[in-house]
Chains A and B, each alone.
Chain A
């Protein structure tokens, strides 16, 4: 089922479909209620990290490295410590020695020494902007001035900022204790190549030998930042009872708590993390930066310490997504059937190991049923900020390469690009190159919806204009979620869940509870709890919240229904199992009572009803999308204007279609920015030269048309309401879709991101000169 939607559509009314073969008619799911936190957010009353105030608050600032690579020979803090108004100064020496300690953070394991050094350097700085020391003072201005009094003696070292350069034998070595890991087998010599992955399926040489057409191309992408509007902000209070409370902007209160406790080597029960409202994260607010630093400053001065990064610090001191080099080779028969694929990917991890090469390798051919394939991937450290997740981390770089080669194959074979993709599309039972097979997925339906869309069927006219299409994939993960709900005597329900709300998930989770209880979405009052108020919940990331925390809300609803049925049985003097529930009404024989009526009798029948659930769904929900782009290329300047853009995606089931559309639009816009403009510019000494929004060019509303959306619904069999994650897939396809459109508009194939005007103009000029 495909639904063309537009952002101004208010309600779709009832949605009816089948999940797992069972007919389902929904009252709440598929509608568009006003978000529960909407009023607070549009009136400015919602509490973000910067709004946190308390008695005795002081302000922290961080001194950052001016060098991309240097040894720290000495730090003299004495002058800063003597400044009036300064209450604490700390360096990496104020943090525990964490050599060789690892911690499992739910989404993966981290090396604590690396994580700690990324918060405050130990002995060496590995990128410009790395934190070296921190000051707390009675005003942010005094703190800023005090930073200038800290004297750091550096021994500058050669730096490297391009991934292929960092892989060379004579490249400056960042770590003498990082050895190349090949699925756990370590190399013998220290290396900037932290990880080498290798996947293989079938007989690649035989596959290419059978191919009628083979295309091999190389692609480069620049580092780009997640670009969240709200900078990192944390306030920490190390109380006199040694309990640490942190108010912070984070994608995961529980992971922030664990990282902080592990870094400071204190008991996890000693830390409470209160997640504030969050002004965007996109993967960049999972790792801690300020939290442990604010904590040790507070411990030292005995006062609450608030730290806010400025935009420059966000760019230079927090994780962008990897810059990359990718080579893709595909072979096909004349009829368009793919017979072999080979990919070689090198992603930069930034200053510390642990980049996005794994998902890059696993996603590069994920849209296609390739009988023979080989993938090699390298995670490479270099003198740039430690990379962080960014919406489908690692997938966009890989898709830019693979989808661009697919487009070239379609042209060479004379086959429509959608038909070529449909012929080879991954579907239920397709085995990926990394091994697992897909369950029921919706790529075919998404491509068919693209083929039938008004956009694809419309004619694009005018000079210098072209249309492109590309596909994208992201796993979508499960992980742990908890929720609890109290039934109120007026029949409303207060829901506390552990997922910080970035994209409207309070509402999408509350709607699943409302659907399960047969009440209105507005009758559920959702809140995001702190780490002392709700059960363990993993990060808001991996497109998991509406899926996994929604599943927790569904289970909470079932728990409440069971308890309420027992209350009805008490009133009707029957056994609980004789009471049925449907459409918000409990029934036994000719007796019935609505959920609300029964809630009013709660205190007569035993007191409060509290539902709770914790879930840990293991299956990924596999999100596929297809994007269509129309562009016009200015032949004189190379500037690319996006004329029309349509994002299609299998959402499984759209709980709140507006939020699904919002994710599709937001992801598309970020992908367009990555494709056309965004880029970390580094000079020869490894310094970023455009660390502000004035110079780092993100798209604005003036640059873009309305992003049209088409939601495809192929219900996920692993969720009671059929939900798939939707947040990340939309960023994957835009660069390749735009590259294909630019080719048709200007006759040049761009293989390096961003496809900024100078690159388009230069490529076009070179083509013209050759002619």
Chain B
């Protein structure tokens, strides 16, 4: 199962856990699995078919551009981060 690192400001939804395991071949499936255990988490991370405004998701060190369709491996590390741009 993939490991999802929960940022401190979302840990109210995971009972304080800083990382949780979740199965899924895509980010959408991982979030769906998380939502079943930690209600409210998916709604904070995703909006419609995409990542919520102002956020980004890093999978194995790479900020995904594929939104909820991003592939996830069983050993993947998933981080929820602020979105960044560049100059």
Chain A residues within CB distance 8 Å of chain B? 102, 104, 107-109, 181-185, 195-200, 226, 281-284, 286, 354, 357-359, 361-362, 389-393, 434-439, 474-480, 539, 541-544, 616, 618-620, 727-728
Contacts and interface: CB of A to CB of B under 8 A. Distances in A.
Closest 5 CB pairs of A and B: A542-B86, A283-B87, A358-B82, A109-B53, A618-B62
B83 interface: yes
Given A437-B61, A620-B62, A195 B85 contact: no
Interface in B31-87: 44-45, 50, 52-55, 58, 61-66, 77, 79-87
A183 B81 CA distance: 8
A283 B63 CA distance: 20
A107 B86 contact: yes
Contacts of A200: 8
B64 to A, nearest CB: 6
Interface of B: 5, 7-10, 44-45, 50, 52-55, 58, 61-66, 77, 79-87
Contact of B81 (A198, A390, A434, A438): A434
A543 B77 CA distance: 25
Contact of B85 (A182, A183, A198, A393): A393
Nearest to B70: A618
Contacts of A197: 9, 82
A616 B65 contact: yes
B62 A181 contact: no
A541 B87 contact: yes
Nearest to B53: A109
Given A436-B61, A618-B65, A477 B84 contact: yes
Contacts of A437: 61, 77
A389 B9 contact: no
A17 B61 CA distance: 25
The secondary structure that dominates the B interface is mixed
A474 B87 CA distance: 11
A283 B87 CA distance: 3
Contacts of B79: 434-436
B44 A184 contact: yes
A183 B86 contact: no
B80 A477 contact: no
Contacts of A477: 63, 84-86
A393 B87 contact: yes
5 contacts: A109-B83, A197-B9, A283-B85, A361-B82, A620-B61
Contacts of B62: 478, 618-620
B54 A435 contact: no
Which of A184, A197, A480 lies at the interface centre, i.e. has the most chain B CB atoms within 10 A of its CB?
Answer: A184
Contacts of B50: 104
A197 B84 CA distance: 13
A543 B87 CA distance: 8
A618 B87 contact: no
B58 A435 contact: yes
B86 A195 contact: no
A181 B7 CA distance: 14
A542 B10 CA distance: 28
The secondary structure that dominates the A interface is loop
Given A358-B81, A475-B86, 11 more contacts: A183-B44, A184-B45, A281-B87, A282-B87, A393-B87, A434-B81, A435-B5, A436-B79, A475-B84, A616-B65, A619-B61
A226 B86 CA distance: 13
A389 B10 contact: no
A182 B11 CA distance: 11
A759 to B, nearest CB: 26
Nearest to B61: A436
Contacts of A620: 61-63
B17 to A, nearest CB: 13
B85 A286 contact: yes
A200 B5 CA distance: 11
B87 A199 contact: no
Given A199-B8, A200-B8, A436-B77, A618 B64 contact: yes
A615 to B, nearest CB: 11
Contacts of B87: 226, 281-284, 389-393, 541-542, 727-728
A476 B58 contact: no
Given A104-B50, A198-B7, A542 B77 contact: no
A541 B80 contact: no
B59 to A, nearest CB: 8
A354 B84 CA distance: 10
B8 A102 contact: no
A362 B9 contact: no
A154 B47 CA distance: 39
Nearest to B82: A358
B65 A183 contact: no
Nearest to A105: B85
A475 B83 CA distance: 12
A728 B45 CA distance: 29
Contacts of B7: 183, 198-199, 435
Contacts of A390: 87
Given A436-B79, A477-B63, A619-B62, A181 B84 contact: no
A109 B54 contact: yes
B64 A183 contact: no
A197 B85 CA distance: 16
Nearest to A359: B84
A198 B8 contact: yes
B86 A181 contact: no
Nearest to A377: B82
B63 A183 contact: no
A358 B81 CA distance: 8
Contacts of A389: 85-87
A620 B65 CA distance: 12
Given A184-B44, A541-B87, A439 B8 contact: no
A392 B85 CA distance: 9
Contacts of B58: 435-436
A475 B62 CA distance: 11
Given A393-B86, A616-B65, A183 B9 contact: yes
A182 B82 CA distance: 10
A310 to B, nearest CB: 23
A357 to B, nearest CB: 8
A361 B8 CA distance: 14
Contacts of B85: 107-108, 283, 286, 389, 393, 477, 539, 541-542
A185 B9 CA distance: 8
A334 B85 CA distance: 38
A182 B61 CA distance: 23
A542 B54 CA distance: 17
B58 to A, nearest CB: 5
A539 B87 CA distance: 9
Nearest to B18: A200
Contacts of B61: 436-439, 619-620
Contacts of A475: 84, 86
Contacts of A102: 53
A108 B54 contact: yes
B63 A181 contact: no
A61 B65 CA distance: 38
A183 B5 contact: no
Contacts of A185: 9-10, 44
B86 to A, nearest CB: 2
Nearest to B46: A184
A200 B6 CA distance: 10
Contacts of B84: 108, 358-359, 362, 393, 475, 477
